Structure 1
Amino acid sequence: MEKQGCLLKYFQNQALENPSFFYDVQLDSDEQITNIFWADVGMIVDYGLFGDVVSFDTTYKTSEANRPFGVFVGFNHHRETVIFGAALMYDETSDSFTWLFETFLEAMSNKAPKSIFTDQDAAMAKACANVMPNTYHMLCTWHIMNNAIKNASSIFKGDDQVIAFLSTCMKNYEEEDEFLHAWEEMLNTYNAHGNPWLSSIFRLKEKWAKPYVNWAWSAGMHNTQLSESFNASLKSYVKSDYDVVEFFKHFDRLLNDKWYKELEAEYALCYKLPSVAIFTSMVIKAGNTYTKAIFDEFQIQYEKSLDYNLVGCIQDGDDIVFKVAFNGHPKERCVRVKKDNTISCSCRLFEIEGILCRHEIKNPY
C-alpha cells in the first residue's frame, strides 16, 4: 500500500504541475492498483501530430514482480521514435488490454490510430478489435520471422528458406491470387498442409501479407522494432532494483533526452542545407520542404526514376494513365493523373508511406 500511495502521489504532483498531464489507474476488488496508464502533454501533442500509425509492445518487464511495461510509440517527421503513452500492467489478459486501449483513447480525445502494429498476442488482438474496430491491425514482421524459425524451420529444412519465403510474401507478391498460388505451392512442395503454425499464420494473412497490408497506411513502419529499440534504450536508464516510483522518474529522464534530440534535429533542419545529389528544380524544392530523413527517402526514389521509361499513355475518361517500366523489364506500373492534377500509382507507395514513388516522379505532367 505504501508504494501505491507514493505512486499516486507522484502522478498527482505531475498533474498539479501541468493540468494536461493524464493518468488513470485500474483497481481490483481489494482496491489494489492493477494497471496504470499515463501520458504527459508532450506525448499527447505528438500523438495529435504523428499518431496515425502506432506500435504497441509489452516486451520489457519491470523488476516489480516482472510486470509488463507497455509503450505506445510512433515516428515523427524526422523518422525518430516518439512516445505516445506508457503503461505498467498487472497481466496480459484481454480485459487488461481492453482497459488500457480504452484509457489510451480517452487520453487522446478518442482519436484512434489508422493502423496499429503488435505482436501475435491473441488477447491483445481481441481487445484491439473490440476497442478500435476501424483501426487496421498489422502484425510485427520481426515477431513472425522469429516464430517461423521456431515452428517451421524443420519443414523448410533451414531457417534461411522459411525466412526467404515469408519475406517474399511480405514484400513481393502484390496481387492476392499471386500470393494464394505461391502459398498453396509452398504447402505442396514441403508437404506442409498439416502444420498448425503455418495454418494459423495463414488465417492472419490480412495482417501481414503484402496484397492486404498494401491498403493500409503504415508510414514506412513494418514491425514493433520501434518499441523494441525503445526498450533497449530504456535499459540504460532504468536499473533492475528500481521500485515503481523510481522507474517512472528515470523514464521521464529518458523522455527528456529524446525531446532534446528532437530539438537538435529541428535546429539542424533550420540551419543546415540538405545534401543534394542531383540538382533539379524538383529535388531542390523537395530539399527545402522536407525534413532530412524524408528528403533522403525522396531523393532515393528520384534517383531510381532515372532508370524508368514511359512506355505508354491512354485516356481513361477525364484521367490520363501513364505506363512506366524499369529499363528492359516487362512489368509496368500505372500512374493515374486526374483532372484536378492529383496523382496515384499502382504501387501505392505514397498511400502507404507518404513518399512520392519513382513511377510518379517519371510522370511528364
Structure 2
Amino acid sequence: MLASTLMLIALLCAGVLIPVPYAEMSPGPTVNTLGEHDGEPVLQISGHKTYPADGHLNMTTVRVTSADYRMNLVEAVYGWLAHDSKIVPHDTLYPDGKTEEQSTQENAEEFSQSQESAKVAALKELGVPVKSWVIVSTVVKGSPAEGRLHAGDVIKAVDGTAVKQPSDVAKLVTKHKPGQKAVFTVVPAKEQAAAEKANTAATRTQDVTITTATSHDTGARRAVVGISAGTDHTFPFTIDIKLADVGGPSAGLMFALGIYDKLTPGSLTGGKFVAGTGTIDDNGTVGPIGGVEMKTVGARDRGARYFLTPADNCAAAAKDTPGGLTLVKVKTIGDALDALKDIRSGDTAALPKCTTKG
C-alpha cells in the first residue's frame, strides 16, 4: 500500500511538472451589439437617422491560453474531461511558432477589417452606396517594396492595368518573373487622407517601379514585391464600433446585423435573445470561424435561445448543442435577416436548423 501511495504521488508530481504541447479553449464573454459595453454604446452612428432597438444580437468570443503558457499533463486531462473547454494542439492556435505579440497584432488587424466589412455589408443590404478602393494593407520588412510603397497607398494600376480588387494585384505581379520590374500607379496615403478629409477625390498619381523578388513561402516559386493588398472605404456617415480587448474576424456578422437594426425602424429580434458568430465579407457572405462549440456554450450560459451559425460550422456545432439553444444555419446576411424575421414572429418551424450533417 505504501509503495502504491508513493507511486501515485510520483505520478501526480510528474503530471504537474511535465509540460505538454497543448492549449485550451473555453467560452469567452458575449456582448450585445445593440447595447452598451463598459458604459458606452457598442455601435455609435452619427450623420444618419437611427432607431431604438431592443432584444439581443450578441457577438460571442473564445478564451484561449497564451502562446507562452505551457500546460501540464494534469491540466490537459482535466480539460479533456470538462464539458465547457476544449484541448487542442498548441500549434493549432499558434502555428509556426507565432508569439503572443504577433498573435495579438494579427487578431487586432482581423478585428478591424471585420468591422469595416460589417459596415459595408450592412449598408449594401440597405442599398446605401459605399465608395471603395484597393490599398496597400501591409509592407513586409526587408522586401523590395519597403520604402517604395506604404500602408494606405491607393493602388490604381499595375503595369498600366487597372486594379479593381485586391486579388488583381497579386495576379498582375505574378505575371512577371522574379527580377523583372513591376510598375505601380498609386495615390500616396497622405494625399488620399487629405482628399478624404476635404471630401474630394484625389487625382494626382505617381508611378513606382519595383524590382520583383522570389517568393519564399510554402507555395510555388513566383515573383513578389512584399505587400499585401486590401480594401478601404468611404462611408456616407460615421459608424463607430466601440469594443476593446477583442480580436479576430468572427464578430463580423453580428456587427453587420446590429448596424442594420440601428438604421431601420422596428426590432430585428422582436425582443428575443439571439447570439451568433461568423466572418462577413463586403458582399455579405458569412464564413466559418474557430471554437464554435465554445461559443454556443457561452451564448447559452448568457441566456441566448437562438444562435446564428455559419453553414460550414453547423456540423461541428450540432454534435453537442447546449440544451435550449436552437442553431440556425446562415450563409449570408440575407439568410440571417430572413431567420430573424421568423424568430421575431414566432414562426420558427421553418428555420434552417443545423444538423450533424451540416
Common fold, TM-score beyond 0.5? no
Considering fraction of residues, name the structure with more helix. 1
Considering fraction of residues, name the structure with more strand. 2
> What is the TM-score when the length of structure 2 is the normalising length?
0.26
> What is the TM-score when the length of structure 1 is the normalising length?
0.26
